[in-house]
């Protein structure tokens, strides 16, 4: 237990180490791999340590922490006679998020060392911007190919350092503005890291797609923030969530389709989340984002950044929940995304893409839970999901790494190391990866009683059922069934049975830097569920106090009620989890070729043709608009036309001025004229310049006498 002032100070310091590491790596150590990753991991470790001090040794130990959270702020922007204040806020919600962020970030930093083949030789013909191709080494007289180290190793650690800074900033922020700053930093890092292997056209396109798609959401979110500020003149959470401000927000009409101000702001902020958390209809970027290195997929596109989207709506829940219309939209989008993405995941063959769609689907679960006022369930699922999805992604990265080893061994580069149909039987080759992946997969499926995923999903079901949201309940139940199904399909195709390719036969377990994070995360994937077991649960209920409910509930002014226990949702989660797992296993245990897979339906395989639809509706018209209108009409026609008009027109005016003003008036009249006049006068006056001094003197004398006479007669002297 640490002192409160210390906790405040530490909270300010949490985001600092990663950004320092980013700067140091970028400026100084980028040529040294060891220093770079030591700096990055050291920074992650420091952030982890401060986070643990603030959460485990402070926040989690205080009763009714929600009533007096850690908050501290400073004057930042002068605004006329007042100040815009920024600061840090750790309440139960951000404490929990901080907890899992710190753990996953640290785990993934360590994992990246192994993933990028630290300690391996330089590649034979590796290029910057391309994944390493392997290096030939000679051992005992014969050559063989081993994985080679990533050419841009330091750069990777710099980027994930900056990313971690963005995430920590977002979590500890006490206002929407700095939250948005962190949000955008992560957006940038996401772009940089998806396009990390920028020499691959697919990675480039994916990076641009991710950036552009999330930008759509971010613009709306910024609008929401601006609107919120114009209504309340504050962006600080604690000020907004006071009764009077919320009352104002709920009663002021927005003038848009009958929404209240709160409803419209909530909707705008939610659109930001739809972009960031890849919800329908802005989900298209996340599967493509799998082009990035796997640690990036795990950290940004599963555990932290996409969770940050959900975190933002959970954070703004008191505001969003004011308008029931917005809540309905939220619930609908969430539930629809959950089932929609799950159906696509069923037909994907790329091991990472299955997980990507699964992530979209699970984020949909959280959004749906929030939409039906199941606040705690949403938080619970957010945390458990972050752990087990990071675990699954890292596991898949480990599998791919093992497969790449096999590919290097056989030298057949036509085999896609990410295609699950090229795998099989990896259970014996990669035991640690298998068992941890199994734990992650079961947690994702909601394997009853043991895994964390079961408890969080069960809570969502219980809330949906208990509050009578039948549509959401049934949709999510089907989605959960599909989740279990595709997870088992993945596990069966990847790990069970016999190796289907030579490459799979030669797959190898990955180094400890990769397996250790897997083991740590799998502990959380199981153990984290136990903090939130409902008290009225048969047999297990009450054995461990439902700490999570108590703790998270404290974030809200009104403590949410515990839903009454009911057998229906419990049995539903049992049935869908076990049923899905069993079906997945029995359907796929004998499938060896994509052709034998009955679910390779074109419609699902091509993700409902969403990419094609968007291409037709948005991308092609945009290109057409750019080409035909902007380039050919506006640029070539109007702008160039005007410019081409300017040239000759200026020429004409210039010639006119020259011919009718410059030449006749300036040159002829003033210039030559003055010279001529001077010449003429000179010629005339020359006559009196006789050169005879006596004549001059005579003239002087005459003038002198004349002046004398004048002066004398007029009495002037």
Residues that bind other proteins (CB under 8 A): 686, 689-694, 697-698, 701
Contact 553, 564 (CB under 8 A): no
Closest to other proteins by CB, 137 or 701:
701
Closest to other proteins by CB, 199 or 701:
701
Helix, strand, coil shares of the chain, percent, nearest 5, are 70, 5, 25
- Shortest distance, position 681 Cβ to other proteins, whole Å: 15
What is the SS3 assignment for 173? strand
- Shortest distance, position 686 Cβ to other proteins, whole Å: 7
What is the enclosing helix (H) or strand (E) of 89? strand 82-90
Closest to other proteins by CB, 557 or 707:
707
Closest to other proteins by CB, 663 or 698:
698
Between strands 82-90 and 135-139, the pairing is: unpaired
What CA–CA distance (Å, rounded) separates 584 from 573? 16
Closest to other proteins by CB, 242 or 689:
689
Closest to other proteins by CB, 606 or 689:
689
- What CA dihedral angle connects 226, 227, 230 and 234, to 10 degrees? -70
Alpha helices in 31-148 (DSSP H): 33-55, 92-115
Between strands 82-90 and 70-79, the pairing is: antiparallel
Closest to other proteins by CB, 547 or 712:
712
- Shortest distance, position 672 Cβ to other proteins, whole Å: 24
- Shortest distance, position 675 Cβ to other proteins, whole Å: 19
What is the SS3 assignment for 542? coil
Closest to other proteins by CB, 541 or 708:
708
Burial profile 269-293: b = 16 or more Cβ within 10 angstroms, e = fewer: bbbbbbbbbbbbbbbbbbbbbbbbb
343: preceding bond cis by omega (within 30 degrees): no
Question: Two tokens at 344?
Answer: 């696509």
Closest to other proteins by CB, 638 or 705:
705
Distance of CA 61 to the CA centre of its chain: 32
- Shortest distance, position 682 Cβ to other proteins, whole Å: 10
Residues whose CB falls within 8 Å of the CB of residue 37, separated by 6 or more in sequence, listed in order: 112, 113, 118, 153, 154, 157
What is the enclosing helix (H) or strand (E) of 652? helix 640-657
What CA–CA distance (Å, rounded) separates 493 from 155? 35
Contact 232, 247 (CB under 8 A): no
- Shortest distance, position 692 Cβ to other proteins, whole Å: 6
Question: Two tokens at 526?
Answer: 């199981």
Closest to other proteins by CB, 544 or 699:
699
- Shortest distance, position 707 Cβ to other proteins, whole Å: 17
- Shortest distance, position 698 Cβ to other proteins, whole Å: 6
- Shortest distance, position 703 Cβ to other proteins, whole Å: 14
- Shortest distance, position 666 Cβ to other proteins, whole Å: 32
Closest to other proteins by CB, 667 or 690:
690
Question: Two tokens at 655?
Answer: 């010639």
Closest to other proteins by CB, 540 or 705:
705
Residues whose CB falls within 8 Å of the CB of residue 654, separated by 6 or more in sequence, listed in order: none
- Shortest distance, position 662 Cβ to other proteins, whole Å: 35
Q: What is the DSSP string of 299-316?
A: IIIIISHHHHHHHHHHHT
Closest to other proteins by CB, 647 or 691:
691
Closest to other proteins by CB, 617 or 701:
701
Residues whose CB falls within 8 Å of the CB of residue 333, separated by 6 or more in sequence, listed in order: 270, 274, 279, 280, 364, 367, 371
Query: In terms of residues, how long is the chain?
Result: 717
What CA–CA distance (Å, rounded) separates 348 from 337? 17
Alpha-carbon dihedral sign for residues 570, 573, 577, 578: positive
Q: What is the CB neighbour count within 10 angstroms for residue 559? A: 14
- Shortest distance, position 656 Cβ to other proteins, whole Å: 44
- Shortest distance, position 702 Cβ to other proteins, whole Å: 11
What CA–CA distance (Å, rounded) separates 471 from 575? 18
- Shortest distance, position 663 Cβ to other proteins, whole Å: 34
């Amino acid at each position: 237990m640490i002192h409160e002032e210390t906790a405040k100070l530490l909270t300010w310091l949490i985001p600092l180490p990663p950004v320092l590491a980013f700067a140091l790596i970028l400026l100084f150590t980028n040529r040294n791999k060891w220093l770079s990753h030591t700096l990055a991991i050291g920074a992650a470790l420091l952030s982890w340590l401060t986070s643990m001090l603030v959460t485990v040794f402070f926040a989690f130990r205080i009763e009714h922490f929600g009533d007096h959270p850690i908050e501290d702020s400073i004057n930042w922007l002068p605004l006329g006679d007042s100040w815009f204040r920024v600061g840090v806020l750790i309440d139960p919600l951000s404490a929990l998020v901080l907890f899992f962020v710190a753990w996953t970030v640290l785990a993934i930093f360590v994992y990246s060392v192994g993933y990028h083949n630290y300690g391996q030789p330089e590649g034979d013909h590796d290029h910057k911007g391309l994944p390493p191709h392997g290096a030939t080494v000679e051992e005992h007289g014969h050559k063989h190919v081993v994985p080679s180290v990533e050419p841009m190793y330091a750069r990777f650690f710099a980027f994930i350092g900056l990313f971690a800074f963005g995430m920590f900033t977002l979590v500890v922020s006490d206002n929407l503005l700095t939250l948005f700053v962190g949000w955008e930093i992560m957006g940038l890092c996401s772009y940089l890291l998806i396009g990390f292997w920028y020499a691959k056209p697919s990675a480039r396109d994916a990076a641009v797609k991710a950036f552009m798609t999330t930008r759509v959401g971010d613009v709306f979110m910024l609008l929401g923030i601006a609107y919120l500020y114009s209504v309340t003149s504050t962006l600080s959470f604690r000020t907004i969530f006071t009764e009077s401000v919320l009352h104002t927000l709920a009663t002021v009409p927005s003038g848009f389709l009958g929404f209240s101000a709160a409803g419209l702001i909530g909707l705008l902020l939610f659109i930001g989340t739809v972009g960031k958390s890849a919800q329908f209809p802005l989900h298209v970027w996340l599967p493509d984002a799998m082009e990035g290195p796997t640690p990036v997929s795990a950290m940004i596109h599963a555990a932290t950044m996409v969770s940050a989207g959900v975190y933002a709506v959970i954070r703004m829940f008191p505001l969003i929940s004011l308008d029931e219309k917005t809540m309905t939209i939220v619930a609908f989008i969430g539930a629809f995304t959950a089932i929609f993405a799950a159906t696509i995941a069923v037909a994907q063959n790329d091991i990472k893409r299955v997980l990507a769609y699964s992530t979209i689907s699970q984020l949909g679960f959280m959004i749906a839970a929030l939409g039906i006022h199941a606040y705690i369930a949403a938080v619970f699922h957010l945390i458990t999901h972050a752990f087990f999805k990071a675990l699954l992604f890292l596991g898949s990265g480990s599998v791919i790494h093992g497969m790449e080893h096999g590919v290097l061994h056989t030298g057949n580069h036509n085999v896609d190391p990410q295609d699950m149909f090229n795998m099989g039987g990896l259970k014996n080759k990669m035991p640690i990866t298998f068992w941890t992946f199994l734990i992650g997969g079961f947690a994702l499926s909601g394997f009853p009683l043991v895994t964390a995923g079961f408890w969080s999903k069960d809570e969502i079901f219980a809330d949906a059922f208990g509050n009578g949201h039948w549509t959401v309940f049934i949709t999510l139940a089907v989605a959960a069934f599909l989740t279990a199904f595709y997870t088992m399909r993945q596990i069966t195709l990847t790990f069970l049975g016999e190796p289907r390719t030579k490459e799979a036969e030669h797959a190898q377990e990955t180094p400890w830097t990769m397996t250790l994070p897997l083991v740590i995360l799998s502990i959380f994937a199981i153990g984290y569920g136990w903090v939130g077991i409902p008290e009225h649960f048969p047999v297990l209920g009450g054995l461990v106090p439902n700490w999570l409910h108590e703790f998270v509930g404290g974030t809200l002014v009104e403590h949410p009620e515990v839903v009454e226990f009911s057998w229906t949702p419990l049995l539903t989660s049992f049935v869908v989890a076990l049923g899905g797992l069993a079906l997945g296993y029995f359907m796929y245990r004998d499938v060896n070729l994509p052709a034998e897979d009955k679910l390779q339906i074109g419609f699902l395989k091509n993700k409902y043709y969403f990419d094609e639809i968007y291409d037709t509706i948005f991308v092609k018209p945009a290109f057409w608009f750019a080409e035909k209108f902007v380039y050919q009409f506006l640029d070539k026609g109007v702008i160039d036309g005007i410019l081409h008009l300017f040239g000759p027109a200026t020429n004409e005016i210039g010639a006119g001025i020259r011919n009718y003003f410059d030449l006749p008036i300036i040159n002829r009249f003033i210039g030559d004229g003055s010279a001529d006049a001077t010449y003429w006068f000179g010629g005339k006056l020359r006559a009196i310049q006789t050169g005879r001094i006596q004549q001059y003197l005579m003239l002087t004398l005459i003038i002198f006498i004349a002046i004398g006479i004048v002066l004398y007669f007029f009495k002037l002297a």
